[in-house]
Amino acid sequence: MGKDARIYVAGHTGLVGSAFVRRLKEQGYTNLILKTHGELELLDQKAVEVFFKEEKPEYVIDAAAKVGGIKANREAPADFFYVNMQIEQNLIWSAYKSNVKKFLFLGSACMYPKECRQPMTEDQLLTGVPEVTNEGYALAKICGQRLCSYLYKQYGADFITAIPANAYGIGDNFDPEHSHVIPALLIKFRNARINNEKTVSLWGTGKPLREFIETEDMADAGIFLLEHYSGYEPVNIGTGEEISILDLSRMIKKIVGFEGEILTDPSKPDGMMRRLCDSTKIQELGWRSRIGLEQGIKRLYEWYENSCNCK
């Protein structure tokens, strides 16, 4: 991509999209197209079509999505399925009709089947059913990946898919009802410390293993793929390291400075017991993660403390 290429980052105000914007600017890209929700309703097919005709982006990074943690996904599968299906179909099809040079669709590790060989390789997509707690979101993301691959195979459109591990980072959502696991645990332990509570209870047994990737790393990998990869097969983006939810909680407990006890609640669902991406493909292309988990969480917590005005 030329440094003056017209690059549209969909969802640029969100966790992942904002990281892409920061990294693109840091790498010298000067012609970014950014539209807020108020400026462009991605659920409106006609509005999206008009946008592409008028703005004529050359490259598209699709970081727009309705996202949430296990509780939100479990309670609103219809919302997660419908909204994400509409957004991705409107963006992908309009981009194809507008002859966009390259399109990067961002999937999710939850797209892989619940009963999946670990680490998860890209060829295991659609070999089983997703974990039920986030099935609506997972199925929508699978459909987006499939549409990109069909366009690549049928029409030669350079539409690629990246499947990242669980993302976290600056700009994360700290709402207890809708946040992902890392910000949810950070705020839970922080509040427990401030309120002098003696215990913190985890959702589930604490045994599930998860792989996490900092959004700056994820953006680096996505930009790398735009420059170095073409193909109908998706590409995993991960660190190759995993940690149990209980050990993650112990790490966050230390970072936050909570001195009480960690309890588990087996009456709550665990979700998929292990979810580790095999990132061999992108590593062979020449990219590797550079931000360690503890380093990334410390940076996120520092950002939150400095920005929430609630010390």
Domains within the chain, CATH numbers bracketed:
7-171+211-240+275-291 (3.40.50.720)
Q: Which residues, at least 6 apart from 63, have a Cβ–Cβ distance to it below 8 Å?
A: 9, 10, 11, 12, 14, 16, 17, 20, 106
What pLDDT is recorded for position 310?
A: 55
Residue 277 CB neighbour total at 10 angstroms: 27
CA pair distance 62, 226, nearest whole angstrom:
12
Mean pLDDT calculated for residue range 192-221: 95
Q: What is the DSSP string of 212-260?
A: EEEHHHHHHHHHHHHHH---SS-EEE--S--EEHHHHHHHHHHHHT--S
What three-state secondary structure class fits 89? helix
Sign of the dihedral through C-alpha 25, 30, 32, 36:
positive
Phi and psi torsions of 199, nearest 5°: -140, 155
What pLDDT is recorded for position 309?
A: 59
**Which of the four pLDDT bands, split at 50, 70 and 90, describes residue 71?**
confident
Q: Which candidate in 8, 59, 112, 137 is catalytic? A: 137
Rounded percentage of the chain residues whose pLDDT exceeds 90? 87
Q: Is 137 a catalytic residue?
A: yes
Do 235 and 163 meet the contact criterion of CB atoms below 8 Å apart? yes
